[in-house]
Amino acid sequence: MTARRDIEAITERIRQRSKPGRERYLGRIAEASNRTANRAVLSCGNLAHGFAVCSPSEKLALGADKVPNLGIITSYNDMLSAHQPFESFPALIKDAAREAGGIAQVAGGVPAMCDGVTQGQPGMELSLFSRDVIAMAAAIGLSHNMFDAAVYLGVCDKIVPGLVIAALTFGHLPAVFIPAGPMTSGLPNDEKAKVRQLYAEGKAGRAELLEAESKSYHGPGTCTFYGTANSNQMLMEIMGLHTPGASFVNPGTPLREALTREATKRALAITALGNAYTPVGRMIDERSIVNGVVGLHATGGSTNHTIHLIAMAAAAGIAITWQDISDLSEAVPLLARVYPNGLADVNHFHAAGGLGFLIRELLDEGILHEDVQTVWGEGLRPYAVEAKLGADGGVVREASPRTSGDEKVLAPFNKAFQATGGLKVLSGNLGHAVIKTSAVKPERRVIEAPARVFDSQQGLNDAFKAGTLTGDFIAVIRFQGPKANGMPELHKLTTVLGILQDRGQRVALVTDGRMSGASGKVPAAIHVTPEAVEEGPIARIHEGDIIRLDADAGTLEVLVPAGDFALRRTADADLIGNEFGFGRELFAGFRQLVGRADHGASAFGTA
């Protein structure tokens, strides 16, 4: 009962804090719905351009506003495994729309970049900003005002948050998100990680490493570890933007196709032309956002969502903070162990009972808000199910199993892996940071050690190769924040620091950059804000300063007398190398406009 009261209290404080912004937002979408959001306001010339390639019957129907028109926003490309399955989705959606008496048009495409391809490369410096570009690209597609609802085809890291921001910006339109699903299981993630460590130590060659990586990332669908991409899918389902049970069905299967057809028909059923009008801006409220955060904690999800959820909520006029996310973590137990928080992958999680089991467990304990609206209708209880293929080729749903198929992967509430969700906010004289502890052993959650200071992840990797990273230390990697260079993920640090920790050294990381859902066993205080380029305290740390990171107490301190520390000059960094090449020069405006990490690291401002 205490946890339930905590959830209610945090939700209420979010509601009160958000009230002015939320009221302005709801007023805007009401005006859009009442005055401008239909084809009747378009001139004949506007309409002629909008349906020029349609059939005569479709033109007649669209011109008379007789049938719903569904806009498709797609992130398809055929280089990236997660988005390649979307190639066939528009034709499938159009066919399903015709069956339901509607019409569907591809409204626009959005870029989809892969952090796995750009890790450690210059392109990674565009990654976080791609979220806002995706939101703007989707807005361009929807700005034609031809649509009664929209479906969003996206899966991975920045793509789904960007699409959510766009959907909420067009909050007068119903929105259904349609996933493509995870790839089938390949080489286990822990075995892949071992080969990476051997390669970093010079004990395995590039050919062995490439073979291991290729066996792990081997086909269509999302990567199978529980990083940001699969955290996205969990969020879309637990927030009611997917149809029930849709998240983790593999691509290219009859059930995946049936779910896509069903989602299309549902999107058409909830337009203003029917009896179940569900504008997404009203549907997603403070309770929905809190449910998303609860799901993130219960599954040990990606730390990237401590940034994305703030930006997504802001698009709906809702103001959430890192402290809200941290306080919710204290009330939510960890019920899933999926790599890097365990050995299983997301397919094992799904087979053990998946989101249906987890949602039912949390609902039964009052940890989720049940009284929400979803694309499926009223209440979250209909999501406590498992989707299966019916005899007629359609989707049927059964109640989720009462017992977990594997309690080492998915635990019932009374056997939670730990009492809290494992995401905490750290505060102290270095500012604020986020740490994910769900994969960190308890004995490693408090570290006091001298600082080793670097201005790039390459600097630390060079020191590792030179054999100079000896003894216990806390690595400080600074000038990696959004204003400095776009806040790239520093995933290459995971392997090196993991090796040193396995050798018996006590190590940790402090950075104003990002890690990802792939961050694991090494304690990492990330997203430090204010960032170094804004003269944050992290820019005043000297080599050898003693830093204390206490994830249990929620503190991050440099143990230097306050007067002395305040008088230090902030370090300067030569960032000219981050300003040009690989399109980085085109993003100078984003680096100037972007807000702080704890405000969503967005160029669009806050709620």
Annotated binding-site residues for [4Fe-4S] cluster read 156, 223
CA 287 to chain centroid, in Å, comes to 18
According to DSSP, the residues that pair with 40 across neighbouring strands are: none
**Which residues sit in the known binding site?**
156, 223
User: In Å, what is the CA distance from 420 to each residue of 161, 299, 362, 575, 601?
Assistant: 25, 11, 13, 39, 26
Please tell me the distance from the alpha carbon of residue 508 to that of residue 549, in angstroms, as a whole number. 8
Residue linked to tokens 């590039």 = 206
Torsions phi, psi for 547 (to 5 deg): -115, 140
Q: Encoding tokens for residue 357?
A: 């089991």
3-state secondary structure of 603: coil
Query: 145 to each of 31, 46, 149, 173, how far by Cα in Å?
Result: 14, 10, 10, 10
Q: Which two tokens stand for residue 71?
A: 């806009």
Residue type, 397: R
446 SS3 class: strand
Written as six digits, the tokens of 419 are 């009492």
Query: What type of residue is 11?
Result: T
Residue with tokens 């380029």: 533
Question: What 3-state DSSP class applies to 146?
Answer: coil
Neighbour-count burial of 564, counting CB atoms closer than 10 A to its CB (0-12 exposed, 13-18 middle, 19+ buried) = exposed
Angle (CA) 298-301-307 rounded to 5° is 120
Element (H, E) at 510: strand 507-511
User: Coil, strand or helix: which one is 141?
Assistant: helix
The C-alpha atoms of residue 343 and residue 409 are separated, in whole angstroms, by 8
Q: Are strands 149-153 and 69-74 parallel, antiparallel or unpaired?
A: parallel
Angle between helices 127-142 and 305-315 (to 10 degrees): 30
Q: In what order do the strands lie in the sheet with 175-178?
A: 103-109, 69-74, 149-153, 175-178
DSSP 538: G
